[in-house]
Amino acid sequence: MKSWKKTAEVAIIGGGIMGVSAAYYLAKRGVSDVVVLEKDLLAQASTGLSVGGFRQQFSNPANIRLSQESVRVYERFEEEFGADIEFRQVGYIFLTQKEETWNDFLSDVETQRKHNVPVEVLSPEELKKRWPYLNVDDLKGGTFGPKDGCADPYLAAMGFANSARKLGVRIEEQTKVTGISIEGGRVQGVETAKGPISAPAVVNVAGPWGGEVARMAGLDLPVKPYRRQVFVTKSFDAIPKPIPMVIDQDVTFYFCGYEPGIIMGMSDPNEPSSFNLNTDRDFLEKVVEAAVRRAPILKKARILRGWGGLYTITPDDNPIIGEATGFKGLFAAIGFSGHGFQQAPAVGLILSQLILDGHTDFNLKPFSYDRFEKKEKEGEKRVV
């Protein structure tokens, strides 16, 4: 049995994509005495259950930057990490029927273009010409981001983890963190099911359990887990490939190509906060209804399987990133809704900068701990 090392420079709680990305960027800067503590196995929680979409079409410039920097990393992932993550830049189409949302789209496009995001504004006729399988009769229009797309989140997490290990990072699977010790407003380390580890920096990247882990330090953060269900069809070739990510913003229904079939999902506004991972038949029927309304040809598709995964949600749909006020050395990056996979490379880099340099040039104001009490919140509108 390997001996238990009781110290680390940085202890990371959670072996999802955020945890392994942070570990990699710390080790890349020469800090190899990093331990990733994962209660189960790497990337089996939200990361492994994610759809793997990435986009730069956000309303908040801070989110645009997180995604832009991350997409750059995913674009050359194979070169840097030696891992094929099935990167497909197939594009994202956002659609709406509502005048008010259409106006929001147009103002978001202005913001996106100001930040050099390539995005096209398309009328219903133009949408129909390019993607004839879409029903556009009820639409105001759509926006298309040609540099958006999909990749495999599990393979990406493994790419980060393997490169981090090569740089000396320890990854302890099946090691649950049970406590965080704080003395005099400073983090001292963590308690785990296998023994304590003293560390001057501790990072909470526990995804859906982020609120629970924060409470171990006495912090009450407004982050909660919510089930999201997705379904995959049997092989389906009635739609010509490549199939972009199509998002029906008004009902939050989405679908895209998922070889050899199609993947689709939708948010349920009545879903309570829970750790439930089941799928349910009634909800599947609603998803199929939304699918057939937007792309009638999907009537011919047959559902093969489905699963439930957890989004981690804050009241303004933006994550919490940074060092906790009054808790020196205690960092977090939690609450990424449905866009944590695509932002993980930038967030890992940011965590390494905050821990090693004490600052970053990314704008973290919309992601601060104390924003929830303030009036001027900068939430994210493009959430699916």
Q: Using CB under 6 A as the criterion, which residues of the chain lie in contact with ligand FAD when the complex forms?
A: 13-19, 37-40, 44-47, 49-53, 176-177, 205-209, 213, 228, 230, 309-311, 336, 338-342
- Phi–psi pair at 103, nearest 5 degrees: -65, -40
Closer residue to ligand FAD in complex, CB, 102/311: 311
Q: Judged by CB, which is closer to ligand FAD: 124, or 380?
A: 380
Residue 42's contacts (CB-CB under 8 Å, 6 or more residues apart) are 15, 16, 20, 157, 158, 161, 171, 173
Task: Output the smallest distance, CB 19 to ligand FAD, in A.
Answer: 6
Which CB atom, from 59 or from 124, has the smaller least distance to ligand FAD?
Answer: 59
Kindly tell me which of 124 and 244 has the beta carbon lying closer to ligand FAD: 244
Name which of 128 and 252 has its Cβ closer to ligand FAD.
Answer: 252
Assigned token pair, 163: 């490169």
**Interatomic CA distance for residues 344 and 52, integer angstroms:** 12
CB of 355 to ligand FAD, least distance (A): 17
**Distance, C-alpha 44 to centroid of its chain:** 14
CB 148 → ligand FAD: shortest distance, Å?
10
Provide, rounded to whole angstroms, the least separation between the CB of residue 123 and ligand FAD: 27
Q: CA neighbours within 13 Å on the CB side: how many for 267? A: 19
Looking at residue 196, its amino acid is P
Asked if 112 and 55 touch (Cβ cutoff 8 Å), the reply is no
Q: Which is nearer to ligand FAD, 131 or 255 (CB)?
A: 255
CB of 228 to ligand FAD, least distance (A): 4
- Per-residue DSSP letters for 32-57? --EEEE-SSSTT-SHHHHS--EE---
- Residues in contact with 276: Cβ distance below 8 Å, sequence separation at least 6, in sequence order: 227, 308
Min dist CB 154 to ligand FAD, Å, is: 10
CB closer to ligand FAD, 124 vs 249: 249
Which helix (H) or strand (E) covers residue 11, if one does? strand 10-13
What is d(CA 312, CA 212) in angstroms, rounded to the nearest whole number? 12
CB of 155 to ligand FAD, least distance (A): 13
